[in-house]
């Protein structure tokens, strides 16, 4: 069975608590349960990892090499300025990454319109709420 990883960046543990008008009222735990169920039904073994610390996210990205067949990544605000995350993804280029965002970042603040990680990811999905993760998993299924 193929193994995938869903990586969640800063503040994504606060979904359902923060900015409900953007992210909805469903909490992170139930969204994660839905991700795991969807991944299993799609034929994947799936792990979820969340951290509010850039260095820990970089270490986790490095660890994907040889351990995971693909990654769905919601890097949160780090998407827009972390060249360190970008370089970490590029370092494990054999592992396909799909960038996802629950909100439509193009309808939000100007600084969210630019992603520094997009060019090292296979694709980008945004604006579908928690279904963005399902779409990312589905995209991986077509790649691996």
CA nearest neighbour of 144 among 72, 86, 87, 36: 72
49 is annotated as an active-site residue: no
133 is annotated as an active-site residue: no
Element at 44 (helix H, strand E): strand 44-50
Write out the two tokens for 42. 């799609």
**Catalytic-labelled residue, pool 101, 106, 113, 133:** 101
* Residue 6 CA to its chain's centroid (Å): 6
Q: How far does the chain reach from its first CA to its final CA, in angstroms?
A: 11
CA–CA gap between residue 122 and residue 38 (Å, rounded): 21
- Which amino acids are annotated catalytic? 23, 101
């Amino acid at each position: 069975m193929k193994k995938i990883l869903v990586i969640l960046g800063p503040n994504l543990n606060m979904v359902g608590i923060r900015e409900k008008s953007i992210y909805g009222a469903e909490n992170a735990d139930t969204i994660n349960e839905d991700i795991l169920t969807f991944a299993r039904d799609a034929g994947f073994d799936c792990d979820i990892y969340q951290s509010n610390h850039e260095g820990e996210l970089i270490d986790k990205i490095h660890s994907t090499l040889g351990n995971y067949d693909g990654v769905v990544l919601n890097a949160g605000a780090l998407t827009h300025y972390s060249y360190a995350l970008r370089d970490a993804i590029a370092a494990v280029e054999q592992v396909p990454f799909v960038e996802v965002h629950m909100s439509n970042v193009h309808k939000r603040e100007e600084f969210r319109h630019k992603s520094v990680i997009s060019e090292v990811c296979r694709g980008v999905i945004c604006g579908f709420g928690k279904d963005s993760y399902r779409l990312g998993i589905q995209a991986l299924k077509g790649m691996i």
